[in-house]
Structure 1
Amino acid sequence: MIRPSYKKSLYLSGGVVVIFVVLLLGFHAREQATTLQTLRAQFLHPPDDARPGVYWYFMDGSLSKEGMTADLESMKQEGIGSVLFLEVNVGVPRGKVDFLSEEWKTLFAHAVHECERLGIEMTLGVGPGWTGSGGPWVTPAQSMQHLVSSSMEVDGSAKKPIILPVPLPKRPFFGEDVFTPELKKQWRDFYEDVAVLAFPAPAAYTLADVDEKALYYRAPYTSQAGVKQYLSSPATYPMLPAGVAIDTRQIIDLTGKMAADGTLSWTPPPGKWLVMRFGRRNNGSATRPAPLPGLGFECDKFDTTALHEHLQAFTGALLQKIGARSKSTRGGLTMLHMDSWEMGAQNWSDRFRAEFQKRRGYDPLLYYPVYAGKVVGSLEVSERFLWDLRQTSQELIVENHAKHLKHYSHRHGLGLSIEPYDMNPTADLELGAVADVPMCEFWSPGGYNAAFSCLQAASLAHVNGQAVVAAEAFTAVDGWRQHPASMKNQGDWAFAAGINKYYYHTFQHQPLAETLKPGMTMGPYGVQWNRNQTWWPLADAYHTYVARCQHMLRQGRTVADILYLTPENAPHVFRAPASALSGDAFMPDRKGYNFDACSPGQLYSAVVKDHQVIFPGGASYRVLVLPAWETMTPALLQKIKALVEAGATVVGTPPRRAPGLSGYPQCDATVRSLAVELWGATTIPATQTERRYGNGKIVWGGNVHAETDNLYPRYDVTARIVDAMGIPEDFNAGDAVRYTHRTSEAWDIYFVSNRTDKRVQTDAVFRTDSGVPSLWDPVTGKTYDLPEYTRKEHQTLVPVQFEPYQSYFIVFDKRSTTRVSKGKNFPTVTAVTTLSGPWHVSFDTVWGGPGAVQFDRLVDWTQRPEKGVKYYSGLAVYTKTFDLPVNTKWNKDPKLFLNLGEVHVMARVRLNGKEVGTVWTTPWKVDISDVVRNGRNTLAIDVVNLWPNRLIGDEQLPDDGIQHDQWPAWLVNKTNRTSGRYTFSTFRHYSKDDPLFTSGLLGPVTVEQNHF
């Protein structure tokens, strides 16, 4: 999770066992087709593993056994199926239970066992805070490290003693205030010498952006302006002035000639020499924003020993405490989690030199000056070394950190989820490919735009054949503004983007008394998805909608035609061509030809069948699109050549050289030779050209390269190439409707969603010409056949219509060819009666309401004269009796519906003493056919609004909340409040002059009849 700074406590963020884990978590796509009969039953009553999850945050020391149980029982009751457990320190006074104390571990074990009892799955972050893996048990020697240096210019003729200064540490990216005094001392004191080098003093010159290229800093990509998506790898470099470059033949290794105090036992030859002292230091990364007892260094991400020591101190202690997991339940601890990177980069470790030499094939010693911005050999040679440095860092992080963590998880019967983005010194897709469950993050409108991470996570799962794509969902600086209806459009965008497992950010643990509401928050963050929400007792209806969608979107495999290959580059963030997306940048929707991206590491597992690029997990693609990147290793180019020879269609330009110094300069000649063999030439043709090679072809030249879009040809160019292959768009229903498509041998499932606040009626064209279509409504769970459709070559046209922001599934049963009876796809709606006249409305006096009030007409609560209504937050009950018109007749078809019109923000309807449904989105109506009477009918509607109105009302009264990071005295001493306030929260989102939120049932309330 990436967040801005807030006060001093907030920082810029957040064999058998393996088979068991895979089966338990359902990682691999369900290619074996579920029968539609079974799927319909699961759609109506979705399985528990399809239920959404929450980030279950605990604030530094504020834990309660009773609160944990109440939290979890409320989750189970309202349809939450999983939790992600993290403890942080974000703007709340410290509690009494120290992190990782014996009492804390006992409470954690209680939470795990309660999850087991309730069938709720728990995921545990792999360290305190949300950033990574570390803590006070991590020694400086096993922490993330940098290679630092000092330099001294000496004159060979001076004959003076040479005492080299100790290199200073680099400034921590988040500043020194992330440390406690003890940690700051350790950070300053830790230093070990690595090498001493001397060479003739070069002319003044510093490599551009060397701090980023040498992995001293990697700023957050989403929340800091100007952060590069990637570092370029050009094929040519300018010549530098004479005297700038250091000749490696003149570098003298003096490592063994320096005493501990820096005195150098060496007499320099005549002339001016530069002597550099290199050493290792902690890089300044600490656990953030950890509970105070959990504050410590991040462990070394290059070293399995360091990671193992950390895991023993943290997860190992907890696993020992909770004991063996019960085999009779699906709940309890099932996953470990690596949240968004947010801990910067490292470029050194105790064994880094040896690992570099093993992986790159040469000794990096003579190139250490490049870390400091010096040019060694030439500008090209230095930049190639930096590429090798970053590539080695990536390999060590992937292999020695992420994969080691995954193996550890599997040994304990757990899975591993990873959010592979933000400050990540690797390519996001290379790191994320390790995960059992790839994760991403998206913020509510007005927050950071991390939509790119969602496209990355979906690509990872699709390419790897994994069923679940998880998301830290709806992250916000919210103030209780959000509710299911306000989140509907963005949630449906996430489904269409490929996400099928929400973890709402955030369910804040509530350890305070039940009367203290809204209660504990994570500072300003989160959509407050917890049991103290006003609408929480009505939330199951929405959670069931989400569970239905998530279950459907895990079936079969996704359909995508275009595969974008990312370059061999670290760091690298995949950004799809903007031209391949529609809508706004915050919620970008795919166009008619869907796409995924893969990393070079993933591509090596691909094969070609029937001219499609296919991965072991089942994902297949019509074209492979190369990035507009000038360098490529011979190994990757050889793989691409093999794919084309086997029948693949590849779109892109030939590379010109290899990156890095491994095998240099012969590697360049190899790349040129392979490029000429595959493309036939290296000069780009003026017009678009197809070159046949083996059973496949290369498409390049002309418009393919005339204008690139985020490194790739524009979408329309690639789309025309796919269309020319006889493959129409997968879906088209105009600009108002988004989609995603999953398929199996038995069916095609399309999720379609109106992304506008207007009613939409259009013809939708689906790329399938087999199977009878049906509509599956995830709001109600009902399914019915669509009799109106027409076929054309490879496509089916279906007339569709949507209410504002409405969504549903169109399912094609490939095993059924019998056309359904004649009729309409959507009913005609006629009004039966409008419920006019007065309503009796009851407001809870505990929250300042006036009790029973008569409304002569339906009106916004904030427009009422009573302060107890104007500032009311919570549930109010509307009651009324009505008679149907005497000529009204109905049975199962046509049906009668109660339409509530306009509701702020949710409502539950009871008619004649029976509950008939909860409404939270358009259309705001419920089926009353089985309950309504010809005579007198008694109607009760529970309507709930949001917390802000009561909070704003309380701001008119004296402040008795948290002051100067201290709990209020009345709370500590358990005495009565005297302010007159009804609410209590640990963060103030509103002032007394803020506008109130529209609330209540505004109607008109009508009875309607549907005619097909």
Structure 2
Amino acid sequence: MRSLRLLPALAAIAVCAHASLATAQHPAPLAEAHGYSYPATSLATLHAGFEHPPADARPMVRWWWFGPAVVKPEIARELAQMKADGIGGAELAFVYPEVLDDPAKNLRNLSWLSPEMLDAVTFAQAEGKRLGLRIDVTLCSGWPYGGPHITAEEAARRLRLMAVPLPVGATSLPLPKLAAAEEIVARFVAKGDAKTWDPSSAKAVTGDVIAPATAGQVALLFIDGHTGQQVKRAAVDADGPVLDPFSRKAVANHLKTVGEPLVKAFGATPPYAIFSDSLEAYGADWTPTLPEEFKKRRGYDLIPHLPELWLGGTEAAAKVRHDWGITLTELINENYLTQINDWAREHKTRFRSQTYGEPAVSLSSERLVDLAEGEGPQWRAFSTLRWATSANHLNGRTITSGETFTWLHSPVFRATPLDMKAEADIDFLSGENLLIFHGWPYSPPKMADGTPEVPEPGWSLYAAAVFNDHNPWHPVMPTVTDYISRMSWLLRQGKPANQVALLLPTDDAWAAFMPGKVSVTAAMQQMVPKELMSAVLSAGYNIDFIDAETINRQGLGDHTLLLLPPSDRIPTATLKAIDTFVERGGHAVAMGKLPTLDPDGKPLPDAMHLTQSIALTPDAGSAAKALVAAMKPDLAMSNVSDYDRGVIGFIRRSLRDADVYFVANTSNQTVKLTADFTTKFAGGQEWSADSAMTVRSIPAHGVDIELAPYQSRVYVFGNEAVKPATPAKDITSHTLAEMDNNWTVRFAGTGATRKASLPSDWNAGDTQHYSGEVVYSQDVTLNKLPGGKVFLAVDGGSPEPGAPNAPAGPERTKSDLLPDGTPNPLVTRPGPGTHAWYLAPIREAALVTINGKPTGALWHPPYRLDVTSLLKPGVNHIEIHVYNTAFNAWSALPPHDFKPLIAKYGDRFQMQELDKVKPLPSGILGTVKLETETR
């Protein structure tokens, strides 16, 4: 064995191939390629696919049916709009009612699973199929799984304790009144009182008779009880308890009662997938069969150990909690995940599962579902999105979907195309390559006289962004989906090439379980230090999570570096696998401490625990430096500040004949750097992520890169001959025409016109509450056209106070205020929702035409379009069609009265942050010019 401490800096040691990835196979006709293929791919072929990605790379939407109160003409209209927008499909999601029934407006809430509701599902599937759209279905109403069909015996359960002080001389235990299907599973008498008692003194009691109680004794009654959780955001008549996810019977009942009619409604063409949202059975940590299953699987009786399980604090208690945790994981794996996945296959569909949350699932649980999905743009910390993408990478699955934009710029209708790009790029960096927008609210159609059945901007979820055509900037959506589709397709090519595998301390998480807190993913939020993730990413690596079970089953795959966060427990088989990994050329680095215990809490054998295979480093920075000393990062950055290094992200895909890098600036400031790409190819090309145009030829090393705020690019390397490299610094720009004055401004919704100079904000006076399209037009005379390219550029954007988290370099302060007393734009401030912290010069997006021909969209920095081919000598008519958010018009409406709705259906939702619905700056808030570019 070799110690990493003794290896020279930047040593490049090839890692021997490990066992092939274990994968599950779909039954015919659902066979999909698992494992990664390496067809010969020229750069030209790759570029053609990037320019025109296939339909299955299109993003999807979560389509909320409220009530559901839906009608077929509107279902058809919205599906057609999705198709026109470049959206590839929809996930049917049935949620709470928005209004009372109103026959005069043709508003009627359809009862859950009623013939009328299922007929609407049948129609949506048929219409989606006709349009070539993928249709998935959520196998419940609201979330998590449950409803009125779930009996008291099948409802989610928890272990609860009644601690009752015993009067001196008492000879019987106090018996509580239990709810239906609850029972006492164990009785003890211990020293102490109701709040403080000694688990070591606890004596089991059979029956209710006890020896006469002495002073200072307490009865401990452990009860198999209900969590009491009800399905959240349920549709009409879909209320009921959340099911017990550990119970095979409860899950089977749900599949029969809910799954069968929903899938049957799809007729001869099943849904592409059935869906289970993130596991949110809060507090669920027990099931009636648990004592029996525990004894069968762990080899001893759990019941006598309930007092120490409850209180913890000792080595013995940690072992019991660990064994309890792993048993819960096994039960949900078998009775929830595997049962649903098998049922889906039997019904000729797939199970798309967000396999994280509460309770108990592990990273290895992901391999039990056909389609593993994640969510969460926490790029530089633990996230369930990277959890899902890592599992798919480990299991040889090409596509990872993600619930995307869940909290994008709250409240509803506030999110913009720039916000979408800011989050989408982080999702791409984390490995996602199928975005499922959260979401698209169904909203009632107009009545026969043309008036809307509900006021604009229509229905929306209580929180989350809105991507339907009630959103004023919606005309720009096809451009946004084009970008997302292009990147999604490209990031499916070849195989993932993340160098670092981070070993999740799952055994530590199980040992830290306690009643009411049984989530591995929640534990990882604390056990995977943010500073470690950040340091490794800043060093130029990308990361997959891995767990001990995966390593024991199949090794570390193509990863060359293994990273251990601070941990206590590790299986001896995993340590042996790490030794083999290092012997074959891999490198292992631990931060803070090495594990010293096996999963049972016993000390590891000296030969194991003192292994020299793992380099121990004191902190995150040292761990990152140790990785760099062992193996050159995939993207080595120089001539860059510490802060800027921390906001640049990348992900790499490896093909037989090419390497693909997606590189993104996740910050609100321009970043410059010099990049060395670790690729076997000598040169390549830089592609525009927006237009797919080849920007320039580049070498693999010493590439000068400049990225505007939230800008991204693609770098592709291959064997094909490329033109001589074009340094970015050799490109210069010159102003051809300034266009700040003499604009005609027309409000498309009213027909009103005015003259304006730039900047021009219509958030004032009689247009303050205008939401929609405004056309800025001007004629520009060009005596002759220049020889080079000509761009229309909008300048004037600036960072918004409250930027995303990033490491602080010596030249950037992290204090709340700058020296002049203004807010520091680099400090994250409280508030829900991801968004782009940038004051854009276009509010919020625009489509440009020149001489009547469309030239493109302005929706993110740099706000610049190539207009060379559309200009002519003489007069050129330029129009910039600007679209804002719904906020301005929405803010003029009176508050909606939900009291009648609550009176009939209960308080099923609460609209969030309505106090923030205020008119926003709108229009062109920068300056416009035509500029030439020469090399």
Give the TM-score band, short-chain normalised.
0.7 to 0.9
* Aligned 1:191-210 pairs, distance under 5 A: 191-192=182-183, 194=185, 197=187, 201-204=190-193
Q: How does 1:39-54 map to 2 (within 5 A)?
A: 39-54=46-61
The counterpart of 1:489, out of the listed 418, 422, 425, is 422
Specify the alignment match of 1:877 in structure 2. 775
> Residues 932 and 385 of structure 1: is their aligned pair in 2 closer, same or farther, counting only changes over 3 Å?
same
How far off its partner does 1:277 sit? 5.3
Matched to 1:129, the amino acid is: G
Q: How far is 1:399 from its partner? A: 2.2
CA contact (8 A) 2:733 2:934 kept: yes
Matched, 1:725 2:630: yes
Match of 1:936 in 2: 875
* Conserved? CA contact 2:145–2:231, under 8 Å: yes
Q: Residue 961 of structure 1 contacts residue 986 of structure 1 at CA under 8 Å; is this kept in 2?
A: no
Whether 2:646 is the aligned partner of 1:698: answer: no
Are the aligned partners of 1:478 and 1:527 in contact in 2 as well (CA < 8 Å)?
Answer: yes
The residue type paired with residue 396 of structure 1 is L
Distance change in 2, residues 1:74/1:151 (3 Å): same
Q: Deviations over 1:305-352 (max 9, x none)?
A: 221111111111111222121xxxxxx721122212222133332322
Greater alpha carbon shift after TM alignment, 272-281 vs 303-312: 272-281
Cα displacement (A) at 1:396: 0.8
Query: Once the two structures are superposed, what CA deviation does each residue of 1:829-866 show, in whole Å capped at 9, x if it has no partner?
Result: 22222335423332235xxx3x241314234243665x
2:411 to 452, 463, 478: 478
Alignment of 1:145-544 (within 5 A): 145-148=157-160, 150=162, 162=172, 164-166=174-176, 168=178, 188-192=179-183, 194=185, 197=187, 201-204=190-193, 245-246=200-201, 251=204, 254=206, 264=208, 268=211, 278-325=222-269, 333-370=271-308, 373=311, 379-422=314-357, 424-426=358-360, 428-442=362-376, 452-476=383-407, 477-513=410-446, 515=452, 516=454, 518-544=456-482
CA distance in 1, matches of 2:235, 2:437: 22
Say how many residue pairs are matched: 826
State the partner residue of 2:545. Answer: 597
Local SS of the residue matching 1:189: coil
CA 1:800–1:39: 2 relative to 1, 3 Å? same
One-letter code aligned to 1:578: K
> What is the match of residue 839 of structure 1?
743
Q: In structure 1, the residue corresponding to 2:44 is in which secondary structure?
A: helix
Q: Is the 8 A contact 1:740 1:751 kept in 2?
A: yes
Shift of 1:281: 2.8
Give the 3 Å change call, closer, same or farther, for CA 492–246 of structure 1 in structure 2: same
Is contact 1:535–1:946 with CA below 8 Å preserved after alignment?
yes
Structure 2 SS opposite 1:245: helix
Change (3 A) 1:986 1:45: farther
- TM-score of the superposition, structure 2-length normalised? 0.81
Partner of 1:60: 67
Does the 8 Å contact 1:750/1:810 carry over to 2?
yes
Tell me what 2:834 maps to: none
The CA deviation at 1:719 is 3.0
Cα deviation for residue 940 of structure 1 reads 3.0
d(CA) in 1 for partners of 2:59 and 2:437? 8
If you compute each CA radius of gyration, which structure gives the higher value, 1 or 2?
Answer: 1
Structure 1 residues 651 and 110, CA gap change in structure 2 (3 angstroms) = same
1:923 aligns with 2:879: no
Which runs of structure 2 are paired with 1:63-212 in the superposition (5 Å)? Answer: 63-89=70-96, 93=100, 95-130=108-143, 132-148=144-160, 150=162, 162=172, 164-166=174-176, 168=178, 188-192=179-183, 194=185, 197=187, 201-204=190-193
SS of the residue corresponding to residue 621 of structure 1 reads coil
Aligned-partner residue type, residue 460 of structure 1: A
Q: 1:801 to 1:517 in 2, by over 3 A?
A: farther
Distance 2:676 2:97 in 1: 49
SS in 1 for 2:899: coil
Aligned to 1:753: 664
Task: Label 1:278 to 1:830 Cα distance change in 2 as closer, same or farther (>3 A).
Answer: closer
**Partners of 1:193 and 1:863 in 2: how far apart?**
64
Q: CA deviation at 1:720?
A: 3.1
1:578 paired to 2:472: no
Query: Conserved in 2, the CA contact under 8 Å of 1:150 and 1:167?
Result: no
Cα offset, 1:93, TM superposition: 5.0
Partner of 1:35: 42
Q: Report Cα offsets for 1:399-422 as digits up to 9, x if no partner.
A: 221122222222223223332344
> SS at 1:305's partner residue?
helix
Please state if 1:657 is matched with 2:597.
yes
> CA offset at residue 950 of structure 1?
1.9
Partner amino acid, structure 1, of 2:929 = T
| Structure 2 Cα separation of the partners of residues 517 and 358 of structure 1 | 60
Deviation at 1:287, TM superposition (A): 1.1
Alignment CA distance shift 1:963-1:144 (3 Å): closer
Shift of residue 939 of structure 1? Answer: 2.8
Distance 2:534 2:578 in 1: 30
Code of the residue aligned with 1:594 in structure 2: it is: N
RMSD across aligned C-alpha pairs, in angstroms?
3.5
> Using the alignment, how far apart are the partners of 2:25 and 2:589 within structure 1?
42
Residue pairs, 1:3-22, within 5 angstroms: 17-18=26-27, 20-21=29-30
- Please give the alpha-carbon distance, in whole angstroms, between the structure 1 residues aligned to 2:674 and 2:902: 59
What is the alpha-carbon distance in structure 2 between the residues aligned to residue 729 and residue 16 of structure 1?
32
Any unmatched runs of 5+ in structure 1? 1-14, 169-187, 209-242, 259-263, 326-331, 608-612, 615-619, 661-666, 682-690, 692-696, 708-713, 790-794, 969-984
Deviations 1:475-530 (A, max 9, x none): 23324222112433333222222222222222111124274553433454121111
**How far apart, CA to CA, are the structure 2 residues paired with 1:898 and 1:454?**
37
CA shift in 2, pair 1:443/1:71, >3 Å: farther
- Cα deviation per residue 1:38-72 (whole Å; 9 max; x = unaligned)? 22111111111111122211222322222222221
Matched, 1:855 2:867: no
Structure 1 residues 567-607: Cα deviation after superposition (integer angstroms, max 9, x where no partner): 21333333443334459xxxx96541222221222222233
Number of the residue aligned with 2:826: none
The residue type equivalent to 2:395 in the other structure is N
**Matched residue, 1:606:** 554
CA contact (8 A) 1:91 1:965 kept: no
C-alpha contact 2:85 2:477 (8 A) present in aligned 1: yes
Following the alignment from structure 2 to structure 1, what is the Cα–Cα distance between the partners of residues 152 and 583?
Answer: 51
The superposition leaves residues 678-734 of structure 1 with CA deviations (integer Å, 9 ceiling, x where unpaired) of 3447xxxxxxxxx3xxxxx3323xxx2x34xxxxxx2x3233333333534533153
Contact 1:138 1:299 survives alignment (8 Å): yes
Letter in 1 for 2:181: F
CA contact (8 A) 1:563 1:598 kept: yes
C-alpha separation between the residues in 2 aligned to 1:98 and 1:450? 42
CA–CA distance in 2 between the matches of 1:489 and 1:154?
61
Pick closer, same or farther for the CA change 1:292–1:769 going to 2, 3 Å: same
Asked whether the 8 Å contact 1:84–1:122 carries over to 2, the reply is: yes
Letter in 1 for 2:92: F
Partner residue, 1:1009: 932
Cα-to-partner distance string for 1:623-672 (whole Å, 9 max, x where unaligned): 32334333334454454455456654333455433444xxxxxx83xx53
Query: Residue 25 of structure 2 contacts residue 31 of structure 2 at CA under 8 Å; is this kept in 1?
Result: no
Contact 2:855 2:867 survives alignment (8 Å): yes
Separation in 1, partners of 2:693, 2:921: 32
TM superposition shift of 1:193: 5.0
Cα distance in 2 for residues equivalent to 1:451 and 1:16 = 29
CA distance in 1, matches of 2:860, 2:665: 13
Pick from 660, 668, 677 the counterpart of residue 607 of structure 2. 677
SS in 2 for 1:392: helix
Alpha carbons 1:768, 1:796 under 8 Å: kept: no
Question: Percent same amino acid among aligned pairs?
Answer: 23
